[in-house]
């Protein structure tokens, strides 16, 4: 076994590899960019080497710097994680040529599976089901239309070197095929330096299900069951689970055996994933093979009790797999939610900045490789007070739960999401909670179009149920009562005018008002709301964001923020602002005028924090509705801002290269005559 390895990555996956390496007694070396000088993976590693500027093209993607860091520190092997250089055939080959072990498949396996056209041909030879399509590079949009007609609409137009949703379009007509071909080539050229495009049949109501495989240098191959990855937004996975609630045992076995056949055909040595698209009739077709560790690998670890990073290390060191296919057991149900720094209510735009609060739920599963057991696990590469930079992907953490069955896993995930406190940057926790509570998801009746179908206009928040509203009313009243109880203890109060917590409050939620009575008893409070009596017990302290207790004997976890004179309550994806007043204060407030918000319609505002990489207008310029005005870059994504109407630019308030805050004015338009 190696005595020291280098992790050629950052963030959550770097920390994940370091944890297993430390458990195995292996020394670790981290590499870091200027933006990651104070990152968690740098702190966790035994050694750390700086490798360049904040943009990944100046640091994490520079092969020479990573190889030099290996030699400088004496690292015998390099783990690439996922993303960056993890599936780069040239990097794997160069590492091996320099006498360093690549903790992953051999370069020839990466090359064979890295090209989507070549991989499909190999899959056909290995007798793996392949989607009908044209597997040669297409030269013109006219040819793309002709091929699409021959296959039959709908079709998928895909970049050969694509991934992560880039270079992919679904076409339902000749016009969409023509335009999609051009867009795919442009995206692929910009993202991968390879503009080859092919066309294949689009499977309707598809499921995205993948098989985890392992191979070693001794000809041993196994599959570790499947992962259901159909809950996606714009081709990016949002929730993953294992096993799938959809496929039968016979389909599961057939998919696993075909995945192993493909791994054997390319002499695969490491952990890898074979991705399939599965139709509503359980017909399945090969999509691609990911020649690396997957983001969602923890759900497989939970149901098998295996540590995939450890197995990668052992295979790379030349060891044989320690088990055969019949030894791979399946225990319980696991789910993973990707917690991202983004604002769902603003079109999922990236959110960057400092993590003012970062309090994950209590973890009961601490390490992979332990016997499979139920509980909560959090994999992350951040810490409270740390920065979420604009240069890399938006993932803050992975929240993983393991339950006895699917219903148990869903309940555990709901509770864990309610307990996950993130402040300072936006997160998608409310959106995840909405998905977990959707009846179609709970029933397991979904496909890759689930989010587009049920959230066609994006995420606008969750409407509270009557029961949820009443629970939040009770909590708001008790929280305010606790505030008033603290005020009672303030010294120096004028005799005869001491603070006395009232027995009755008016709780205002938006336009509605509710009279709530609160009476303390030993260990809790009796709350009367609309004639219904509840008991609420809690040890909540005023400084805590997370509120936990028991409402009518049942556990409840939610989050409470003080916002001016209001309380912002968050539970099961619902967010409500409550104002708690005495009856007299409520009476007076009703007589107060409402202040109108400022009119910002004359400004182009930055919808997110980011870098202004292009500004296409100047003062005095006439612009038409829909005209491109500016481009903001954040977290590896470019966001184009367009003119909202025909108008004239009055003043440019920001310059190309500026770092922008959310809602910062970029352009002011001339007022209409």
Buried b vs exposed e over 498-508: b needs ≥16 C-beta within 10 Å? Answer: eeebbeebbbb
DSSP labels for 518-550? EEEETTEEEEEETTEEEEEEE---TT-SEEEEE
Q: Which of 176, 226, 288, 310 is catalytic?
A: 288
CA distances from 55 to 164, 236, 529, 635 (A): 19, 22, 55, 10
Residue 211 lies in a domain: yes
Residue 333 lies in a domain: yes
Range of the domain at 305: 207-454
CATH label of the domain that carries residue 139: 3.30.1490.20
Which three-class secondary structure state does DSSP give residue 341?
A: coil
Q: Would you call the peptide bond into 154 cis, given omega within 30 degrees of 0 as the criterion?
A: yes
| Percentage of residues of the chain with pLDDT beyond 90 | 72
List the one residue out of 545, 570, 569 whose CA is nearest residue 430.
Answer: 570
| Percentage of residues of the chain with pLDDT beyond 70 | 98
List the one residue out of 471, 538, 482, 542 whose CA is nearest residue 509.
Answer: 471
Number of neighbours of residue 46 by Cβ within 10 angstroms: 14
Indicate the pTM of the whole model: 0.85
In a shared domain, residues 382 and 439 = yes
Which one of 161, 179, 201 terminates a domain?
A: 201
Instruction: Encode pLDDT of 322-367 as tens digits.
Output: 999 999 999 999 999 999 999 998 888 888 889 999 999 999 886 6
pLDDT at 398: 97
In a shared domain, residues 334 and 226 = yes
List the one residue out of 69, 68, 63 whose CA is nearest residue 88.
Answer: 63
In a shared domain, residues 519 and 608 = no
What mean pLDDT is predicted for residues 186-200?
A: 84
> Residue 117 — very low, low, confident or very high, per pLDDT cuts 50/70/90?
confident
Question: Does the pLDDT of residue 457 top 70, yes or no?
Answer: yes
Q: Cα 598–599–601 angle (5° rounding)?
A: 150
In a shared domain, residues 310 and 393 = yes
pLDDT at 118: 85
pLDDT at 172: 93
In a shared domain, residues 328 and 361 = yes
Number of domains forming the structure of the chain: 5
CATH label of the domain that carries residue 431: 3.30.470.20
Q: Read off the tokens for 299.
A: 């759900």
For the question of residue 288 being annotated catalytic, the response is yes
Q: Cα 638–641–647 angle (5° rounding)?
A: 160
pLDDT at 331: 94
pLDDT at 131: 83
Residue 430 lies in a domain: yes
In a shared domain, residues 646 and 585 = no
Question: Does the pLDDT of residue 200 top 90, yes or no?
Answer: no
CA 522 – CA 519 distance, rounded (Å): 10
Which three-class secondary structure state does DSSP give residue 617?
A: coil
Q: What residues form DSSP beta bridges with 339?
A: 397
List the one residue out of 56, 57, 54, 19 whose CA is nearest residue 38.
Answer: 54
In a shared domain, residues 21 and 153 = no
pLDDT at 219: 96
Number of neighbours of residue 522 by Cβ within 10 angstroms: 5
In a shared domain, residues 59 and 196 = no
């Amino acid at each position: 076994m190696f005595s020291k390895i280098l992790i050629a990555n950052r963030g959550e996956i770097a920390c994940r590899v370091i944890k297993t390496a430390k458990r195995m007694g292996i020394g670790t070396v981290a590499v870091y960019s200027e933006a990651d000088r104070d990152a968690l993976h740098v702190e966790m590693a035994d050694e750390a080497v700086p490798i360049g500027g904040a943009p990944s093209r100046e640091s994490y993607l520079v092969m020479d710097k990573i190889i030099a860091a290996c030699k400088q520190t004496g690292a015998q092997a390099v783990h690439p994680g996922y993303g960056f250089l993890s599936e780069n055939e040239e990097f794997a080959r160069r590492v091996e040529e320099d006498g360093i072990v690549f903790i992953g498949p051999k370069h020839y396996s990466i090359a064979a599976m890295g090209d989507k056209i070549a991989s499909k041909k190999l899959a056909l030879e290995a007798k793996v089901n392949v989607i009908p399509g044209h597997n040669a590079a297409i030269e013109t949009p006219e040819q793309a239309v002709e091929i699409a007609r021959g296959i039959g609409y709908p079709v998928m137009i895909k970049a050969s070197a694509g991934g992560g949703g880039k270079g992919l379009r679904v076409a339902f007509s000749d016009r969409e095929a023509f335009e999609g071909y051009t867009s795919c080539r442009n995206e692929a050229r910009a993202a991968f330096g390879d503009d080859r495009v092919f066309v294949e049949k689009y499977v309707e109501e598809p499921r995205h299900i993948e098989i985890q495989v392992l191979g070693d240098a001794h000809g041993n191959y196994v599959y570790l069951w499947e992962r259901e990855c159909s809950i996606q937004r714009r081709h990016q996975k949002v929730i993953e689970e294992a096993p799938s609630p959809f496929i039968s045992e016979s389909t599961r076995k057939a998919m696993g055996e075909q995945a192993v056949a493909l791994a054997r055909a390319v002499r695969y040595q490491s952990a890898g994933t074979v991705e399939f698209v599965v139709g509503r009739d359980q017909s399945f077709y090969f999509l691609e093979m990911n020649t690396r560790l997957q983001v969602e690998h923890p759900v497989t670890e939970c149901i098998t009790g295996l540590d995939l990073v450890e197995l990668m290390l052992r295979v790379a060191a030349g060891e044989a797999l320690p088990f055969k296919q019949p030894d791979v057991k399946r225990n319980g149900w696991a789910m993973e939610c990707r917690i991202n720094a983004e604002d769902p209510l603003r079109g999922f735009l990236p959110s960057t900045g400092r993590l003012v609060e970062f309090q994950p739920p209590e973890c009961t599963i601490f390490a992979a490789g332990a016997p499979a057991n139920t509980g909560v696990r959090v994999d992350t590469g951040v810490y409270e007070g740390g920065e979420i930079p604009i240069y890399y992907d938006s993932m803050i953490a992975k929240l993983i739960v393991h339950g006895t069955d699917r219903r148990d896993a869903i309940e555990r995930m709901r509770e864990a999401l309610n307990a996950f406190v993130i402040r300072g940057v936006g997160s998608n926790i409310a959106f995840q909670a909405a998905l977990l509570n959707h009846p179609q998801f709970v029933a397991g009746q979904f496909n890759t179009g689930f989010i587009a179908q049920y959230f066609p206009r994006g995420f606008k928040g969750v409407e509270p149920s009557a029961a949820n509203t009443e629970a939040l009313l009770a909590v708001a009243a008790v929280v305010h009562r606790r505030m008033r109880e603290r005020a009672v203890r303030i010294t120096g109060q004028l005799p005869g005018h001491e603070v006395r917590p009232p027995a009755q409050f008016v709780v205002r939620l938006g336009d509605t008002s509710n009279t709530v009575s609160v009476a303390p008893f030993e260990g809790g409070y009796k709350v009367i709301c609309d004639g219904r009596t509840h008991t609420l017990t809690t040890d909540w302290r005023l400084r805590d964001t997370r509120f936990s207790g028991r409402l009518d004997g049942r556990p409840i976890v939610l989050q409470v923020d003080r916002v001016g004179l209001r309380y912002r309550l968050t539970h099961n994806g619902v967010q409500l602002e409550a104002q708690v007043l005495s009856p007299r204060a409520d009476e007076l407030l009703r007589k107060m005028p409402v202040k109108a918000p400022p009119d910002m319609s004359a400004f182009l505002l930055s919808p997110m924090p980011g870098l202004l990489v292009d500004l296409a207008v100047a003062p005095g310029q006439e612009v038409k509705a829909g005209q491109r005005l500016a481009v903001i870059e954040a977290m590896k994504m470019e966001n184009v801002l367009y003119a909202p109407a025909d108008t004239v630019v009055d003043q440019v308030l920001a310059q190309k290269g500026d770092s922008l805050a959310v809602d910062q004015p970029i352009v002011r338009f001339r007022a209409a005559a």
